[in-house]
Copies of this chain bind each other. A is one copy, B any other.
């Protein structure tokens, strides 16, 4: 059971290094059309895209993301919650703007921005482009807001770089789907480390091109290494949403 679309999706890999070739306006226009056609909660269209072309802003975003390759990517898109437009519409009609600041709006806008981002990734990959999600904007969410001068009732959700691939990474192994697709409730394992032993072994056969000279660690060791209780500025991202005026 496959087709062109599904083959594209099953070949998904993060692409971090791109050729210097530009992505044409024609292609970007198509990608934006796809973005617009994405499902939108209650049809309210409270999310959007900010393309960042200004070199100084790209430098600032690279600094925040702490990923040097972000600077070199031909296209940088930031997906945002945008409740500011609908708040303005409310005000223009003498209504209370607070209705656009509610948790429901934030959750919907955040969800919709993510759906839009993934729709863009699939469209881009179907054209041969590579994509890289940038969750690292939340290293300093407030810094991103300040750099791009984002108004109240907007919020950065996820960044993305696009371009023509200049690398050909392996497919990254995923844990078996029966661990992540459940039926009628949550299926616990008696011991997750044991249940994932085979997957752990498979993961160590994978080479991450960010450090191509060594194999990566097992999945469970990645969990131990990446999930720590050290202070992390990511943890302030929802406080920043409150500072942006969302009543969450």
Contacts and interface: CB of A to CB of B under 8 A. Distances in A.
A186 B154 CA distance: 9
A53 B181 CA distance: 13
A-side interface mostly = helix
A184 B57 contact: yes
Interface in A157-211: 157-158, 171-172, 174-175, 177, 179-186, 188-189, 191-193, 196
A192 B98 CA distance: 17
Contacts of A37: 9-12, 171, 174
B114 A222 contact: no
B119 A184 contact: no
A185 B80 CA distance: 11
A127 B224 contact: no
B127 A118 contact: no
A174 B3 contact: no
A36 interface: yes
Contact of A118 (B115, B181, B247): B115
Copies of this chain present: 2
Contacts of A95: 224, 227
Interface residues of A, number: 118
B2 A4 contact: no
Contact of A1 (B11, B117, B127, B192): B127
A242 to B, nearest CB: 11
Nearest to A232: B104
Contacts of A119: 9, 118, 122
A141 to B, nearest CB: 10
A12 to B, nearest CB: 5
Contact of A35 (B27, B88, B100, B181): B181
Contacts of A196: 89
A38 to B, nearest CB: 7
Contacts of A118: 38-39, 114-116, 118-119, 122
A179 to B, nearest CB: 8
Nearest to A91: B192
Interface string A104-127: 110110110011111101110011
Given A51-B184, A119-B122, 4 more contacts: A6-B123, A89-B220, A93-B224, A100-B227
